[in-house]
Chain A
Amino acid sequence: MASLTFKDFKSDQDVRWCPGCGDHAVLAALQRALPKVSQALGYPRERYVVVSGIGCSSRLPYYMDTYGFHSIHGRATAVSTGIKVANPTLTVWQACGDGDALAIGGNHFIHAIRRNIDINIILFNNQIYGLTKGQYSPTSKFGAITKTSPYGTVEHPFTPGSLVLGAKGTFFARSLDVELALNEEIMTAAALHDGCSVMEMLTNCVIFNDGAHRELSDPAVKADHTIVLRHGEKMIFGKNRDRGLIYDGRKIRAVRIGEGGFTEEDILVHDAHTDYIGLHMALADMKGPDYPVALGVIRDVKDITYDDGVRDQVRDVMLKSKIHTVDELLHSGSTWQVE
């Protein structure tokens, strides 16, 4: 197989997102990640199916020159599930927004995670409804002023990571639209993960929620406000790489190395593979001003997948059963003859 390049994944359709929209960067990262995945796993292009729901980010399948399904609002996860169960040899990628996956499609989202079906979900989280022009979403900050909350919202937002880990997700990663290299890294890890992979991409909506993630993306402060977690590496962050995370016996704390008696020895090493979901939950929940926001692959653990389970059960029953044709089925059980 000739090796694929990002051009092989670009369709001939004009990309119609707003100039400056964060979705462009996520699309570019995906088009760059998939050739690497193909290289690593020997997947031809026709093996990919990209599924989406409704919303700005859900236009993504049209921009990928793969098999694609632009479904209906909230239901991408269910469509992906059906595709993967029907044909487990396909590699399913899904694009969905915070409204699509966490409001109207919240039910499908948590159940796909619970089942651990082997699909790769990119959750574009811009904390706003863009395609309907600026209403609050389930991830909008408490008090957010939007067209449907002119006096500020009075509801708490979801933290997608807590939702994923609460449903016992086996893979959760977080990144920002602008982190192209990190996004390629995360997408490749997600593809290699056998099970339901959720990648939360904090994206910027230039029109209706510009700068929502500025605290995390602004080069002046981002090093102090985020931490990139990598399995096996120390949890160190900060512009001067002098801050880190420790566990004080009760909870995780962000400390300055060399102050308060903390040395580099005390800094935690990230274990994305541990079964201990509480630790991953604590990392996924971190936010300012006391903590950096965690980016990178927070959790990546092995577990049985739904699609394998369905396939194996069908195979096992086939081996054991005496019924292999419909004629045999029709004559099974109680029958009688009329001579």
Chain B
Amino acid sequence: MQHKVVDLQDVVLRFAGDSGDGMQLTGSLFADMSAIYGNSLSTFPDFPAEIRAPHGTLSGVSGFQVHIGSDEIGTPGDFCDMLVAMNPAALKTNAKWCKPTAMILVDGDAFDEKGMQRAGFKTDNPFTELHIEDRTIIVAAISSLTQESLKDSGLDAKAILKCKNMFTLGMACYIYSRPLEFIYQYLERKFSKKHPELIEPNKKVLNDGFNYAANIQAIPNTYTIAPVKGRKKGTYRNITGNQATAWGLLAASEKANLPLFCGSYPITPATAILEELAIHKSLGAKTLQAEDEIAGICTAIGASYAGNLAVTTTSGPGLSLKSEALGLAVMAELPLVVIDVQRGGPSTGLPTKTEQSDLNQALYGRNGECPMPVIAAHSPSHCFDAAFTAAKIALEHMTPVMLLSEGFLGNGSEPWLIPSMADYPAIKPPFVRGTLAEGEKFHPFERDPETLVRRWAIPGQKGFEHRVGGLEKTHEGVLSTDPRNHELMVHERAEKVARIARDLPKLQVVHGPAEGNLLVVGWGGTFGHILTAVEEVGDAVSYAHFDFINPLPANTEEVFSHFSKILVCELNSGQFAAFLRAELPGKEYIQFNKVQGQPFLVSELVDAIKKEL
């Protein structure tokens, strides 16, 4: 058989195994390495809620999909070109994600009677049973080859078997022509301090996997994916959404010249933001792991009152617990950034899966008339700008701001052209200045006539002593149940939020003509998928994406007026569509929704769009 090296424009790999098999690491190493090589990429970790579900079971399968390309790509890919399945359960749960042309690599050692039984196979041929026998199937004895490779390493049996993901990675590196140097460096960095004895064995297994793939005849072709050409010059890095969120907050803290305080309670999939901030004390960040979600937000509200840039991070169920305190922040008119990394709901729902179903909660989930700005991040790296903007709005408009992220964004990663902080604007909170005249009292809820924003006096400032709280007050800060005063304050709080639109960027049609029959609309983390889909459909359709939900960009109605139909695509049953119907009635809104705890597939979006053309 003639070995060929085929040049590909893009390729999707899916690594799947038991939740202890190291597939998240294998996948992210493959991604990071490809990023440094110069490919575009997008990743999608898809893992169970259990840390170590029973060995070999379907519920314990953890997957990591990575899409790499020689052109810019917007999604982690619908279906994969190569599936790595470390056991029968991984094969069974992931076979449906294989393209008809896919190559499937399995660890043959795991396909013993016990493994097959645990995965619930009824026959002894898993490939025919799953109707994937026509794919290119490579059965390699990965476990025993790893054991053989390390038999003289001095490591114990358990430690040896843990290295089998490196054998797999080595094989994948051969097949997709990836240089191994990056992984060498990673292994050295990771193990040099605590486990230097693990560096050489891991390198050896990686190499042996690479060579094994080169030597067996089972692999017909190898592939190259060229670096992206014409990419903007500069320094790049890979970044996940949660990391970018944390860094965006640190950036805002620097630009506002205020210490960052994050009060949070661990919750999937938001925890990594708290973890990331906890590392960066050198930038003055204080993190408080609170006793519960309510304490998370209430400590943040206290820190805000004391003059910090205050943040609380959570996911849907945690946001439910924070509702009352959100009202307090609205009422006290204190700056606060609330980050909800959405997951499948309701209740505990699907903790590790992605969804956009907290929009209603973000917009309305409080008692009384309690408006707050809601903004959304649209890609992992955009989380940086979104977090920065959320903090800027909060600090300059004296209001809590809700930033909606998603599990898909938080855990996903992509290459990012590192920005320079010199290009970011200063953040200027409305601090009180100077001193008060003799006998003059500070009126905490007197407003700027243009923006309706109140001024911010920080405890410790002489003469500005004042009280805030959840009870209705007058502009002077005096408790009041006067009916007219209450109505006035309700209107002013709403109008203050509405006027933020004056500072927001305009809504852009990012694809297609500015007028036509059909405008596709999305918000949040669906951006990459929808953009890829509309590009596939072509200029018959236009697309606008919302980063700002409340208030909507000021020109939204104007943009909508040039289209006869608006197709709202979102990962819920139509919450944004309902919001648009309420805010901008009189248009024909059509919905395309998915509530499966999974991102859109580009293919299903294309079908949905074409149906409306």
Contacts and interface: CB of A to CB of B under 8 A. Distances in A.
Do chains A and B stick together as partners?
A: yes
A65 interface: yes
Contact of A325 (B308, B421, B466): B421
Contacts of A85: 261, 286, 288, 299, 302-303
B325 A82 contact: no
A65 B465 contact: yes
A313 B250 CA distance: 17
Interface string B200-237: 00000000000000000000000000000001111111
Contacts of B301: 71, 79, 82
A83 B470 contact: no
A326 B250 contact: yes
B324 A333 contact: no
Given A108-B295, A313-B281, 20 more contacts: A46-B460, A46-B462, A47-B459, A62-B467, A68-B467, A69-B332, A71-B469, A81-B288, A82-B263, A83-B459, A86-B302, A90-B459, A108-B298, A314-B281, A323-B282, A327-B421, A334-B36, A336-B38, A337-B236, A338-B417
30 contacts: A11-B467, A46-B459, A46-B464, A49-B459, A61-B469, A62-B467, A62-B479, A66-B465, A67-B459, A68-B465, A69-B469, A70-B467, A71-B328, A72-B328, A79-B299, A81-B302, A83-B303, A83-B306, A86-B303, A86-B308, A86-B310, A87-B459, A87-B460, A90-B459, A323-B282, A325-B283, A326-B283, A331-B418, A333-B237, A338-B234
Contacts of B38: 336, 338
Interface in B403-430: 417-421
B30 interface: no
A220 interface: no
Interface string A301-321: 000000000100110011011
A26 B247 CA distance: 46
A337 B304 CA distance: 39
B284 A318 contact: yes
Given A69-B469, A79-B305, A334-B36, A326 B459 contact: no
Between A87, A89, A325, the greatest number of chain B beta carbons within 10 A of the residue's beta carbon is seen for A87
Nearest to B246: A329
A324 B471 contact: no
Interface of B: 32, 35-36, 38, 231-238, 247, 250-251, 254, 259, 261, 263, 280-286, 288, 290-292, 294-295, 298-308, 310, 324-325, 327-328, 332, 417-421, 458-471, 478-479
Contacts of A80: 302
Most chain A CB within 10 A, of B38, B302, B307, is at: B302
A71 B306 contact: no
A44 B35 contact: no
B237 A330 contact: yes
A3 B582 CA distance: 59
A268 interface: no
A230 interface: no
A163 interface: no
Contacts of A317: 281-282
A207 B350 CA distance: 50
Nearest to A310: B286
Nearest to B327: A72
A82 B465 contact: no
Contacts of B461: 46
A73 to B, nearest CB: 8
Contact of A46 (B35, B327, B465, B468): B465
* Most chain B CB within a 10 A radius of its CB, from A70, A79, A84, A335: A79
Contacts of B479: 13, 62
Contacts of A336: 35-36, 38, 235-237
B383 to A, nearest CB: 14
A94 B254 CA distance: 31
Nearest to B281: A317
B460 A83 contact: no
A30 B35 CA distance: 63
Contacts of B294: 75, 78, 108
A21 to B, nearest CB: 18
B233 A82 contact: no
B310 A338 contact: no
Given A323-B280, A326-B283, A82 B310 contact: yes
Given A46-B462, A335-B418, A82 B306 contact: yes
Contacts of A314: 281, 284-286
B467 A83 contact: no
A330 B298 contact: no
A89 B259 CA distance: 14
Q: What secondary structure prevails in chain B residues at the interface with A?
A: mixed
A65 B469 CA distance: 15
A75 B321 CA distance: 12
Contacts of B292: 107
4 cross-chain pairs, A with B, having the tightest CB-CB distances, nearest first: A82-B302, A70-B469, A321-B282, A78-B298
A333 B236 CA distance: 11
Given A46-B460, A90-B459, A330-B247, A324 B283 contact: yes
Contact of B261 (A11, A61, A82, A338): A82
Contact of B237 (A51, A78, A334): A334
A213 interface: no
Contacts of A13: 478-479
Nearest to B467: A68
A326 B303 contact: no
Contacts of A253: none
Nearest to B469: A70
A72 B300 contact: no
A79 B470 CA distance: 13
Contacts of B251: 326
A315 to B, nearest CB: 9
Nearest to B260: A86
Contacts of B300: 82
A225 to B, nearest CB: 36
A331 B236 CA distance: 9
Contacts of A333: 237
A310 B263 CA distance: 13
Contact of A78 (B234, B295, B417, B464): B295
A34 B406 CA distance: 48
Contact of B295 (A49, A83, A107, A323): A107
A3 to B, nearest CB: 16
Contacts of A320: 282
Contacts of B286: 85-86, 310, 314
- Of A79, A82, A330, most buried by chain B (CB within 10 Å of CB) is A82
A11 B303 CA distance: 24
Contact of B298 (A47, A75, A338): A75
A335 B236 CA distance: 5
A111 interface: yes
Nearest to B284: A314
A145 B80 CA distance: 69
A24 interface: no
Contacts of B304: 82, 86
B298 A89 contact: no
Most buried by A among B250, B418, B470: B470
A100 B247 CA distance: 37
A56 to B, nearest CB: 14
Interface in A103-141: 107-108, 111
A339 interface: yes
A87 B284 contact: no
Nearest to A88: B306
